[in-house]
Structure 1
Amino acid sequence: MTALKAHEVARYLARPDLSEGIFLAYGPDGGLVRETAQRLIRHLSGDDPASANVTIFDGPELTADPSQLVLEARSVSLFGGKRIIRVRNATKALVMPLTELRDDPGGTAIVLEADNLPPRATLRALVEAAKLGRALPCYPDTDETLMALMRETFNHAGIRTDQDVVPTLREILGNDREVTRRELEKLTLYAAATKSLTREDVLLLCADNGALAIDAILDATGGGHTEKLELALNRALAANVNPQQLLSMLTTHFANLRRWRTEVDGGKTPRSVLDAVKPKPHFSRIGGMEQQLRLWNETALGTASERLLQAVSDTRRRPALADAILRRTTLSLCMMAATF
């Protein structure tokens, strides 16, 4: 009986101990399940993948006629080469034909892909109990495994990365292995000529540009950076971000600054105040937000809040002028910050 642990799967894929039998990749991370099956099939195909005889079924197709699986596994390959059967969306309906093939697969490798399966699921139990069976659990990546994958990918491609590239990419991506692989392929292709990647490259290629522009507007306005503000406003409005939404977010931002400033006036440092914020701001914004807490005092923040509330009211009464009102208000606050 062989039941691999999730952390053992990557090592197993590098050197599988079987060339025939039943392999089951299962788990809640569909992207990782597919990648695991693909890597296993590449290894099983040997030195000449083109010569392998790979047949692909979908689970519902075999559910209607499970005997197809046995017939395919017992068939003689017309062109020689390794016989591999890949079954996507495998279900317990395959237990009966797999039972027939479990002890004598006839040299065929059967690679199953399934959703998350509890220990007592009949399909998983059959594969784990089979002498020629291996079950490969595919669970969502942790921060450590994802960051290790990123570094391994860039190192393998000979790409030098700035220190903050991997942390930034981890902040942007979720836990779906397929999405991560796709983004890594995009970055690797982008850096194929220069062999280097910066944080700006990652943000340009992988981040939500609308969200980045909103953060840039908040920080440029609060930090007194007029050129950055103009650039961020143009980007956000070009992406069809609603001006009223931006004013609402600016109102919230300055209300937060006012609340945090009270804590600073009470004796805390700007960094300690921001470290306690939930959810914590992206690490790339911390320095700029510290500066804003130092620039703006209680009186100035009260004035900024009043102007923003008035701007929100003006855009509701005259929505056709929303863009102009947004630009006028943010520029006036930006100029205030620049004079502190």
Structure 2
Amino acid sequence: MTEIKSHEFEQFLQRPLRDNRIYLIYGPDRGLVSERATQIAGKTGVALDDPFSLIRLDGTDLQQSPGRLLDEVNTIGLFGGEKLVWIRAAGTEKTLIEGLSLLSQQPPDASYVIIEAGDLKKGTGIRKIGENSRSVVSIACYSDDARAVNALIDQELGLEGLRISPAARERLNEALGGDRIASRNEIRKLALYCRGMGSIEENHVLDIVGDASAVSVDDAIDAVLKGDADELQHAIRKIVASKTAIFLVLQACLKQFQLLDLMRSEMDDKRQQPTQVVATLGRHLHFRRKPLIEGALKTWTLPAIRRELARLQAAILQSRTRQSLEDSIAMQTLLAITLQSARR
């Protein structure tokens, strides 16, 4: 196995690609997956504006044509030279697993393969192949921690020659980290807003920066719990505009209902009030969201919560196996749960 840990990636990027031909980039942070895939693609030397050199595929393409991956990798370009086959998929598609298994045993000589995948559990899907093959470079992408967020802030603001006060940095840190591309876009927007000022203060962050740690995801989840379909659609439009995968909303909604399941079980077992449960099990919640969670605990029964958990788990599975329908599946599921909230 050739595994590049998150903190090793920048150092890895400084080295030549050498004989490494197959790259698997996966994880829950879709923005970071996309960013790192783009950085590796730039290192290959393949002309990314040449349709004969760059072949883009997704999970649907491979399902419709099972031999497509091997055909594209082994086909010589019209004008010769090396090729890049760039795939965006869930990572659990049978055809992709079979194709990568064969490629890992006999890596291509004149082609690069980059695979962007979702959040894969250890030992599942194409991650299992990456873990067992020395010819596949595996790169996991998880949400940025405080150190990574601060490095990103320094990098982007340094390009504009801007300083940032401690209070502004703290406020900015709170708003970033859920998705790398969304975080970078928010910092660039702040830098553009403060260009020529020299220093960024807390009020500037409050004026211009949205919550990229949730990328309006909290707004969407709050709308679901309140049963407000209009507010949900508004939040989803903001998420789409920030080029953030709507899949993140499904994941966040699943985590929210898992927390509700835990809290409601505690309420029923110990005959506690919602305020007591939220005080003990919801310490990490933002104080503004606690009344909403308390209200949800009053209206959602444990069987109802578990029905929605099953619905969300099924939707997440469908969105991974049918990636071309991801947005439709997510929106349909979120609206259905919102309507259930409204009835309650």
Normalising to structure 1: TM-score of the pair? 0.55
Q: How far did residue 123 of structure 1 move?
A: 1.0
- Number of the residue aligned with 1:101: 103
Q: Deviations over 1:172-202 (max 9, x none)?
A: 2342212101112212333444454332222
Q: Deviations over 1:196-229 (max 9, x none)?
A: 4332222111147xxxxxxxxxxxxxxxxxxxxx
Contact 2:150–2:173, Cα closer than 8 Å, also in 1: yes
Using the alignment, how far apart are the partners of 2:45 and 2:196 within structure 1? 31
Contact 2:161–2:198, Cα closer than 8 Å, also in 1: yes
Q: Which AA in structure 1 matches 2:13?
A: L
- Number of the residue aligned with 2:172: 169
- Number of the residue aligned with 2:40: 40
Is 1:26 matched up with 2:26? Answer: yes
Contact 1:23–1:111, Cα closer than 8 Å, also in 2: yes
Is 1:202 matched up with 2:205? Answer: yes
Q: Deviations over 1:8-62 (max 9, x none)?
A: 233223335445421111112222111121121122237x655692211111221
Contact 1:20–1:105, Cα closer than 8 Å, also in 2: no
Using the alignment, how far apart are the partners of 2:69 and 2:62 within structure 1? 7
Identity in percent: 30
Is 1:55 matched up with 2:55? Answer: yes
- Number of the residue aligned with 2:114: 111
* 2:148 match: secondary structure: helix
Instruction: Tell me the C-alpha RMSD between the 2 structures.
Output: 2.9
Using the alignment, how far apart are the partners of 2:78 and 2:160 within structure 1? 38
With over 3 angstroms needed to count, the CA separation of the structure-2 counterparts of 1:45 and 1:195, relative to structure 1, is farther
Contact 1:5–1:136, Cα closer than 8 Å, also in 2: yes
Moved more, 23-32 or 150-159: 150-159
* 1:188 match: secondary structure: helix
Normalising to structure 2: TM-score of the pair? 0.55
After the TM superposition, which segments of 4 or more aligned residues of structure 1 sit over 6 Å from their partners? Answer: 277-282
Find the partner of 1:182 among 181, 185, 191: 185
Using the alignment, how far apart are the partners of 1:106 and 1:6 within structure 2? 27
Contact 1:83–1:108, Cα closer than 8 Å, also in 2: yes
Using the alignment, how far apart are the partners of 2:200 and 2:158 within structure 1? 12
- Number of the residue aligned with 2:127: 124
Using the alignment, how far apart are the partners of 2:74 and 2:60 within structure 1? 21
User: Number of residues paired by the alignment?
Assistant: 213
Gaps of 5+ in 1: 209-276, 283-340
Using the alignment, how far apart are the partners of 1:173 and 1:104 within structure 2? 38
With over 3 angstroms needed to count, the CA separation of the structure-2 counterparts of 1:92 and 1:197, relative to structure 1, is same
With over 3 angstroms needed to count, the CA separation of the structure-2 counterparts of 1:78 and 1:145, relative to structure 1, is same
- Number of the residue aligned with 1:333: none
- Number of the residue aligned with 1:159: 162
Q: How far did residue 149 of structure 1 move?
A: 1.4
Contact 2:27–2:117, Cα closer than 8 Å, also in 1: yes
With over 3 angstroms needed to count, the CA separation of the structure-2 counterparts of 1:278 and 1:80, relative to structure 1, is closer
Using the alignment, how far apart are the partners of 1:92 and 1:173 within structure 2? 32
Using the alignment, how far apart are the partners of 1:158 and 1:16 within structure 2? 30
Q: How far did residue 77 of structure 1 move?
A: 1.9
